[in-house]
Structure 1
């Protein structure tokens, strides 16, 4: 790792990618951004990293801003993300004199990663409010002029059918989106990730500059006026964003009061090579290792739909639910709305109802929680921290905590169950909510919180962006206090943080199973996953497993789809009957192959699943992958698909997961080239296939006269960059063959047994080692 600053330059690199800055007369520009594996140079000289509009004036690191400090150091340790260790950072601090504003940019890079993160904060040091308009969070002037691909990933399944906007352009463009990839036409290039929430104001684009293109992701806040209460958003397929019909005139801007600071959010810039699929693979790895907290990858039972609004939510009934869930392999039971209550227990107060969930022995932990611990089941609790009930003690004693005036309106509306929303910027309210979370977790030993109804709009003195920032900082403080507690965001209605702000928190309650006209359950769930792949780990996408299965759809048809998602049962598992054995089988398989099912996923069919044709999704890459194939109403019983990111030199065995039937064996090159013919005889059926690399050969025959041997390493398709080998402890020459082969010679050794040790490093910095033993019949020739 390299992260250093000198009087005229700075560098941040890790052997995979590297960025260099040049400092001249108070200006700071990127002078180099390289893919160190291929040598690709993706930056033009004097590239400005960002831009910012302050009070109507656009400034940047070489146009209006003055560099006042540059420093390098280690990335601070985050208790909630222990995997994000060993990183280096470069921090650049700029000043604008009129109005007096300070801008801080923090760049971070971790070992082995091809992706560099950057965060931007703006502090108002003037005596009056400043306005922040359009801004680019990350940009690079690049010679890359190939096709640009922009994706906008959206949630809000209750009121929105389409979850993906996809644009491909060869000229300049400016689109809504969080993901921008630009290719050189030979399978290499850069990608930019916008960490802001999905919204019309979240943008990705490129504009021509001398010698190339300025490629950027950022925000144009004036495209929005605010957010509407979701209750008034009708009909379906509409979002709760209020667009500015006069854009680019007027609209919303970020306002920063004197002495205040705002965090504009994070962005990422990455390099890739080896084909377009390498870009999302690099991003998902960065996301899972350095952005997301560690997750258990568990199977859940949620009680909301079996017991709506807390009906039958009590210790006795939930004990029978827990028993049924445990019997089929569920690992976490989430008590949804209804566990809270009793004196001082409404929304806003947050106490577990002692009448329904007592603590009989007075040890401070409710008996039901202790029962689950004995069963080996994790407890989760639903909470809506942004909302309060009008009869809660917290609101009655502190009405000034409400978000006035709009937050008070909801409390007065019967259709909204008497719920209003808080002004989350108020320090005393935040202390109250954090204390309530601390208390509930101590009383229940809960290890997950489902955060629902993330509802906010503007308050007096705080606009909806302020409320958004306050929510994120509150959630991060909960994670800091309780790093072992999973926080799940409900993105079905409010769509406040999806995609990557939500992923940085934890898994999502993505789909509320509100089916749209003409779209069946299988198509709906397939589309949810297809639309988010390959840039989002599908194990974050929560779907309602087995809820209201329509006639003609079996458990066997649905479970392969649910295994790719965050498997969450809404059905009352006590009523499974003969289907219990089928569910148990699939959950056992999921537990045995958890790691292979929770990484990168690739859609292998281009057409939308909403079209009722074929859909094939691939989970994983490298040595073990799974295919979920669904034939909805397609007339053809066979579909040929090309798999992604296999090792072309390995041989893969393909089998049907449920029946165990062997379907054949092919090389990785064959599966990625001509492809695999998938057959489903019944319309509406689904099947899962396992594609697993054959065990590597143990070497030459028991007694061999061979002079040399080639050992293929299990690198998951990554190319080996360097290797060393020893035979019986003595160093021998090596030669890299293909992507992952290391050839060594036995010259002068034998007869007898030899021990070969190979250590290699792949192009992305990962280490790989293996040991083989051979028996030679006679010495190899020198």
Structure 2
């Protein structure tokens, strides 16, 4: 199979499918780096082969992709060919009757040709497995997934079900890069060297999670290979380095403590696991993910500048207070005004109200509709915060439906942030969430919906049901419904910050909230990690007055605005307290962002330097335009009291023979060769610690 510039080649070896080549087109024209020789001692060949997918009977020792409780699966290859070719046995696809848990987006956007389809059968258990491969259209991202169908007469229980195994030749060991974190410290880059053994990350919380992001990069000294998972529930990515120089990355749902039961003729489809090859290292992998997420998006047009009221008012929401904020926001050039938590009945604090999504008449005495109209009369679109999967014990919804929350019979229920999690997998709960949001969007002219999720799942007891799968499927169903019925509404995904950021959410939302931490140097590190796996059109960022939680060194308002301009610009401070001078500066920065946001949304991204140094920048290139967001995250250079030289920001991917000039007031131009080999000059001072440069090819 071929993508934009790469190929992915597999071959049948008996009843296995092994990887032959993965790299630039033509890489298979030569001996395969995945082939092995010598005897297989004390293991099976499947344990050391570059096998694409294997049950525990074929790969019993070094990490299988599929396992059934009480049985050891082996299988025979029944058919293989293009995905649009009927099964040679005439029995149809293994996915008949199944529901695709992990489809990341509209197939008309992601599908490029038919791809490959292979069907395996375990004749003893009656298990049928269909494997699929395809390159997403116009990209080098190969999508893979598996469908498991129970063709036997008895129920069976899946205790392991991966989406795919990706193989990387690593004769000298692997460098594994990943993103870790916690609340307010998400997307922290880290790496480890894996000579042999296993490295594993994941989540068991029923949500993507703060602790790790479902993506890894494996480098072998020659190239980089990225693997990501399109799943918003519990997940696992395991990186196994064997003794013979092969690293295998297994990605899929985590079924630890939550096996999947399949009755006769029932089937389940795995999430999509996506893989990408790049000769340009981890940053090249990042650019491949950006291109992929732009393909998944319904729209990558410039995002509007938003104002969010949370940090200004928290729960103290009133029509008068919000309109005062809206008045100032409009004067700054903001385009969308979002009322955050606190607008609905019973919501004076975080102890009550969740689930009762009715505007509080005491807070909006003239009526909520009149309030929304007043905001819109200021030239602003209107947005609203919701947390529809949650309920407070102190709410009318919980009083009416206490059985709608996750619980374990005979045991006390756990609250986190004084709230329970609704069992969205139940059809009546799904209908309530869907209809509630549809009702709000239909009754009021809401243009922006911020969907939050502030607690993971703890106890749960619903028999043999697939709780994780049913919750995530119904989440996707609601989002898909809203996107179809209310296509003009921008949806922001949030989960106590960045706890639900993955490829599936990137396909179903328009922007994602990386973290609740908006302090300048802390946020710089968070956004640096975010851009290593996700595109800038998804990265919502606010300018606030927040102090640092992990790095409290002060930074200028310009630093905060340039930082928020690196993605989707928002403002979240109490702007009624800003002076006339601060408001004028903010209005200037908002306009500068509007002048470049199309380049930031759609441009090719290069990260330059480090978020711990005076040379730290993100470059966006689109056609003849080059935009650079630059920050001094280190000490102060350029003081005139001692000899010093300018900091240089070496740009990437320019035409060395062309000249580039500033489009703003700066009167300077440079050759592309100079900008790449020497760098764009900046002279940081205590007052000048960040800037946004707008260049164009002359």
Same fold (TM > 0.5): yes
Paired residue for 1:336? Answer: 340
Contact 2:4/2:140 (8 A) holds in 1? no
1:485 matched to 2:489? The reply is yes
Matched residue of 1:204: which SS?
Answer: strand
By how many angstroms is 1:134 displaced? 6.8
**Alpha carbons of structure 1 residues 183 and 557: separation in structure 2 relative to 1, 3 Å:** closer
Q: Distance in 1 between matches of 2:26 and 2:488?
A: 37
Aligned equivalents of 2:687 and 2:585: distance in 1? 21
Out of 348, 352, 358, the position equivalent to 2:355 is 348
Task: Tell me how far 1:285 sits from its aligned partner.
Answer: 0.7
* 8 Å contact kept, 2:163–2:273: no
User: 2:199, 2:239 within 8 Å by CA — same for their partners in 1?
Assistant: yes
Specify whether residues 173 and 670 from structure 1 end up closer, same or farther in structure 2 by C-alpha distance, changes over 3 A only.
farther
Per-residue CA distance 1:266-288 (angstroms, 9 max, x = gap): 22222334666433222211111
User: Structure 1 residue 325 and structure 2 residue 325: aligned?
Assistant: no
**Alignment of 1:105 onto 2:131:** yes
- Aligned CA RMSD, in angstroms, stands at 4.1
1:398 is matched with 401
1:652/1:691 contact within 8 Å kept: yes
What SS class does the counterpart of residue 324 from structure 2 fall into? helix
Alpha carbons of structure 1 residues 291 and 454: separation in structure 2 relative to 1, 3 Å: farther
- Judging changes above 3 Å, is the alpha-carbon distance between structure 1 residues 470 and 272 closer, same or farther for their aligned structure 2 residues? same
Task: State the distance in 2 between where 1:95 and 1:483 align.
Answer: 42
Measure, in 2, the Cα distance between the counterparts of 1:16 and 1:459: 46
Could you tell me which residue of structure 1 aligns to residue 210 of structure 2?
Answer: none
Counterparts in 2 of 1:553 and 1:80: CA distance versus 1, 3 Å? same
Q: Which moved more, 1:78-87 or 1:585-594?
A: 78-87
> What are the residue-to-residue correspondences of 1:289-368 with 2, within 5 Å?
289-290=295-296, 294=300, 296-309=302-315, 311-314=316-319, 316-341=320-345, 346-354=353-361, 356-357=363-364, 366-368=369-371
- Is the alpha carbon distance of 1:171 and 1:530 closer, same or farther for their aligned partners in structure 2, counting shifts above 3 Å? same
Aligned 8 A contact 2:16 2:51 in 1: no
Q: Distance in 1 between matches of 2:163 and 2:241?
A: 11
Say whether 1:218 aligns with 2:225: no
Q: Which residue of 2 aligns with 1:191?
A: 226
Deviations 1:486-542 (A, max 9, x none): 32222335x54334344333322222238xxxxxx3211211122223332244333
Aligned-pair distance for 1:665?
0.8
**1:151 equivalent in structure 2:** 177
Corresponding residue SS for 1:648: coil
The partner residue of 1:135 within 162, 172, 183 is: 162
Is the alpha carbon distance of 1:151 and 1:445 closer, same or farther for their aligned partners in structure 2, counting shifts above 3 Å?
A: farther
Alignment equivalent of 1:651, drawn from 644, 659, 667: 659
Structure 2 equivalent of residue 204 of structure 1: 239
Aligned to 2:95: none
Cα pair distance change 1:644/1:329, threshold 3 Å: same
Question: Which gives a bigger RCO, structure 1 or 2 (Cα 8 Å, sep 6+)?
Answer: 2
Could you tell me which residue of structure 1 aligns to residue 24 of structure 2? Answer: 35
Distance 1:52 1:501, change over 3 A: farther
1:295-353 deviation per Cα after TM superposition (whole angstroms, max 9, x unaligned)? 652211111121111x1332x4333322221211112211111222289x942242233
Residue in structure 1 matching 2:289, options 265, 283, 286: 283
Counterpart in 1 of 2:523?
525
Query: By percentage of residues, which structure has more strand?
Result: 1
Give the 5 Å matches for 1:160-179. Answer: 160=185, 163-168=188-193, 174-176=199-201, 178-179=214-215
Q: 1:181 to 1:256 in 2, by over 3 A?
A: same
Aligned to 2:515: 511
SS at match of 2:51: coil
Aligned partners of 1:349 and 1:436 also within 8 Å? no
When normalised by structure 2's length, the TM-score is 0.77
When residues 398 and 523 of structure 1 are mapped into structure 2, their CA distance, relative to the original with a 3 A threshold, is same
Q: For 1:677 and 1:593, how far apart are their aligned partners in 2?
A: 20
Number of corresponding residues = 623
Secondary structure, in 3 states, of the residue corresponding to 1:604?
strand
SS in 2 for 1:459: coil
**TM-score by structure 1 length?**
0.69
2:637 corresponds to 1:636 = yes
- Matches of 1:173 and 1:683 in 2, distance apart? 48
Contact 1:83 1:290 in 2 (8 A): no
SS of equivalent residue, structure 2 residue 276: strand
Report Cα offsets for 1:353-386 as digits up to 9, x if no partner: 35545787xxxx9233344445442222211111
* Aligned match for 1:554, one of 540, 553, 556: 556
Indicate how the Cα distance of structure 1 residues 635 and 591 shifts in structure 2: closer, same or farther if over 3 A, else same: closer
Would you say the 8 A contact 1:66–1:96 is kept in 2? Answer: no
Deviation per CA, 1:424-457, whole angstroms, max 9, x where unpaired?
1111111111111111110122232212125323
Decide which moves more: 595-604 or 467-476.
467-476
> Structure 1 residues 199, 511: CA separation in 2 closer, same or farther (over 3 Å shift)?
same
Equivalences for 1:461-476 in 2 at 5 Å? 461=462, 465-466=468-469, 467-468=471-472, 470-476=474-480
SS of match in other structure, 1:325: helix
* Closer, same or farther: CA 562–376 of 1 in aligned 2, 3 Å: same
**Residues 1:369 and 2:372 are matched in the alignment:** yes
- Structure 1 distance, partners of 2:400, 2:584, is 52
User: Aligned ranges for residues 617-766 of structure 1 at < 5 Å?
Assistant: 617-621=617-621, 623-637=624-638, 638-653=646-661, 660-667=665-672, 669-682=673-686, 685-694=689-698
Match of 2:2 among 1, 4, 13: 13
Q: Report the CA distance shift for 1:296/1:161 in structure 2 as closer, same or farther (over 3 A).
A: closer
- Partner of 1:366: helix, strand, or coil? helix
Residue 776 of structure 1 aligns with which residue?
none
Q: Which runs of 5+ in 1 are unaligned?
A: 1-11, 223-250, 515-520, 695-782
Equivalent residue, structure 2, for 1:431: 431
Within 2, Cα distance between the matches of 1:408 and 1:370?
47
Counterpart secondary structure, 1:442: helix
Q: For the residues of structure 1 that align with 2:425 and 2:680, how far apart are their CA atoms?
A: 55
Task: Map 1:42-121; keep pairs closer than 5 Å.
Answer: 44=34, 47-53=50-56, 58=64, 64=75, 66-67=77-78, 72-73=83-84, 84=109, 87-90=112-115, 91-121=117-147
